[in-house]
Structure 1
Amino acid sequence: MTTTADIWLPYPAAELGPLPESLTYLHWDGRGDFPADPARCAFYTVPYLQGTEAACRPLERMTRVRVVQTLTAGVDHMLPALPLLPPGALLCNAGELHNTSTAELALALILAAQRGIPDAVRAQPAERWAPAFRPSLADRRVLIVGFGGIGAAIEDRLLPFEVAEVIRVASRARTTARGPVHGVDELPGLLPRAEIVVLATPLTETTRGLAGADFLARMPDGALLVNVARGPVVDTKALLAELDSGRLRAALDVTDPEPLPAGHPLWHAPGTLITPHVGGPSTAFLPRAARLLRGQLARFAAGEPPQYVVATGGAPLA
């Protein structure tokens, strides 16, 4: 690498720890004017939580960019940018960055929904003492759809709570040290066994609407659907039908549409807990983001390929 390679970062370089000295670091957080000519940028770190428009805005002019690094596990917001990437440019996701924080939230949503914490929060201002018999997490069968890094981190946090079984599902069946991972084609036979279903899969054309009417109908009465993936993985209309009937419950960190607009029926659906897409943003984020960028930039400066490549300029999303 040469010192003429501009590296765009959404945080000041000094906040990220020691970085390769052979590179020139420019700060752009997705707002305001560009810090320099985008055509000089070789490594572009996409601003975090600034939306698709900000993420993609400089790419048309980044004619020599070699690596586009997101700080998100999912890259669906970058799909409009794929045709803008120069041939051979690499799109990378955040790898393990969000495993800890997202798994932590998934566990919190499960526990809160199972033990009736939203009802207790609503009862407290009214000074209403309302004990009730609630389902535990212990002895439940939990199905994780999307058994990658986040799915494995969720399993790690479930096991100390004495769940009866963790059923793992990914795009393809395989055998791991943890046990079998079922293929997504096996879901029809697995869903009736699961009292809690956690969605942690990336959003792709294959997973869009995966949790539709047939998927939900196969879940047993009283089961809990937890979505920490992306909103469109769930068919909202089909989910509302199940929630309004009282047959299923839901704990959703993501929704479709998103942000969920005022007046949307999901806000008031029975047995539903909603958080505003906060699986990633926590105090765990910045230290892990800095570690990710230090590693990726060290490889870049050394002329080595980056980790976590999900697409290449001129090729479809992997």
Structure 2
Amino acid sequence: MTGDVWLPIPPDEIEGLPKGPDYLFWDGGDDGAQEFPGDPADCVFYVVPYMRPAEVCVRPMPRMSSVRVVQTLSAGTDHVEPALADLPAGVRLCNARGVHEASTAELALTLVLASLRGVPEFVRAQDRGLWRGGFHPALADRNVLIVGYGSIGAAIEDRLVPFEVARVARVARSPRTTARGPVHPIADLPSLLPDADVVIVSTPLTEDTRALVNADFLARMKDGALLVNVARGPVVDTEALLAALEGGRVTAALDVTDPEPLPADHPLWTAPGVLISPHVGGATSAFLPRAERLLVNQLHRFVNREPLANVILTTGAKGA
């Protein structure tokens, strides 16, 4: 197998890469002004830079006339999908399933526990030298609803088990049965939301899930419920959420927002009952070893002409 492979991790830092391709390093640095490492037309396997703006990630794609695989290092692929129309037919888009489950699930639990137990208030009191206690809800005995029950949603439930929650309900695009119980279709949300004390959103961003958490969704949540978003910002209607927060009906913990980054003067920063983290669900020490294992595995499959893992779609295919 010949051709260039563009990697956002220096190739000499990745053990086990297969021989054959020419490995070039490009991580989209310098706000995307970084020079390309070679001619994009010679790239056959493009690993998209991680945690870069979408406009940076897609910048070389219109010139990638020979590319066969676009591999993201994120679970979501919505940031590169608009540029797929510029690519030839037959290009496989693959995501990073298996890379972010541990880190994102950890953060989801962190946001839930911090919000329920009042940690933000404790930190603010500490900054002022105040010993300020109080009564807060526990995660134990709560009903939890996971909206988006893919590999990350399942990893979140794995970490909920020791916390003695009363019940976990699961929602995904398609209904199915798992060892832990049924997965409901999105159409069941209206009947599931009123019982949930904690709603964790971990669904991919698609046209079907954009603004899924809208005014109607929020109105169906029980009074005092907590919304946690570790998916994508546009899954939540920001204006509807602000109205619900200002009304005091719900609280929220958000790792992602719309817009993002959140401007300094945005009202979400000061809305009551909201905890915001700056899109750090996958940005931990767990990322690099899992990302490298994924890339080595995918590139061995590619070089040996074996089926790739994590294929989301193929350009030019019916329905793509």
Q: Partners of 2:54 and 2:193 in 1: how far apart?
A: 34
Are 1:85 and 1:314, in contact at CA under 8 Å, matched by a contact in 2? Answer: no
| Post-superposition offset of 1:305 | 2.1
Provide the residue aligned with 1:9 in structure 2: 7
Q: Deviations over 1:73-106 (max 9, x none)?
A: 0111012211012100111111111111000000
Match of 2:110 among 85, 93, 108: 108
Preserved contact between residue 147 and residue 170 of structure 1 (Cα < 8 Å): yes
**How far 1:57 sits from its partner (Å)?**
1.0
Question: Once the 2 structures are TM-superposed, how far is the Cα of residue 315 of structure 1 from its aligned partner?
Answer: 4.0
1:92 matched to 2:94: yes
In the alignment, the residues of structure 2 paired with residue 317 and residue 119 of structure 1 have an alpha-carbon distance, to the nearest angstrom, of 48
Unpaired runs of at least 5, structure 1: none
CA distance in 2, matches of 1:196, 1:316: 38
1:1-318 equivalences under 5 Å are 1=1, 4-31=2-29, 32-315=34-317
**Distance 1:115-1:317 versus aligned 2 partners, 3 A rule:** farther
Residue-by-residue CA offset, 1:202-223 (whole Å, 9 max, x unaligned) = 0000000101011100100000
Post-superposition offset of 1:193: 0.6
Matched-pair identity in % = 64
1:317 and 1:216 map into 2 onto residues whose CA distance is 32
Instruction: Measure, in 2, the Cα distance between the counterparts of 1:127 and 1:62.
Output: 57
Shift of 1:316: 7.2
Name the amino acid aligned to 2:45. Answer: F
User: How far is the alpha carbon of 1:64 from its aligned partner?
Assistant: 0.7
In structure 2, C-alpha distance between the alignment counterparts of 1:248 and 1:98, rounded to whole Å: 28
Deviation at 1:317, TM superposition (A): 7.2
Please list the CA deviations of residues 50-87 of structure 1 after superposition, one character each: whole Å capped at 9, or x if unmatched.
Answer: 11121111111110100000001011101221101210
Q: Deviations over 1:192-238 (max 9, x none)?
A: 01000000000000000101011100100000000000011111111
Q: Given residue 276 of structure 1, which amino acid in structure 2 is its aligned partner?
A: P
Q: Aligned partners of 2:209, 2:317: CA distance in 1, in Å?
A: 20
Query: Structure 2 counterpart of 1:161, which letter?
Result: F
Report if the CA contact (8 A) 1:310-1:317 is conserved: no
Helix, strand or coil: the match of 1:77?
coil
SS of 2:260's equivalent in the other structure is coil
Secondary structure at the residue paired with 2:194?
A: helix
Which amino acid is 1:29 matched to?
D
Q: CA-to-partner distance for each residue in 1:91-139, whole Å, 9 max, x for gaps?
A: 1111111111000000000000000000000000211111110000000
Mapped to 1, the partners of 2:267 and 2:115 lie a distance apart of 19
State the TM-score, normalized to the length of structure 1. Answer: 0.97
| Deviation by residue 1:253-275 (Cα, 9 ceiling, x = unmatched) | 00111111011110001110000
Q: Given residue 84 of structure 1, which amino acid in structure 2 is its aligned partner? A: D
2:12 maps to a residue whose letter is A
Paired with 2:257 and 2:82, the residues of 1 have a C-alpha distance of 20
Aligned with 1:144: secondary structure? strand
SS at match of 1:91: strand
Counterparts in 2 of 1:292 and 1:279: CA distance versus 1, 3 Å: same
Distance 1:149 1:236 in 2: 26
How does the TM-score come out when normalised to structure 2?
Answer: 0.97
Helix, strand or coil for the counterpart of 1:18? coil
**Cα distance in 2 for residues equivalent to 1:144 and 1:173:** 13
* Structure 2: gaps spanning 5 or more residues: none
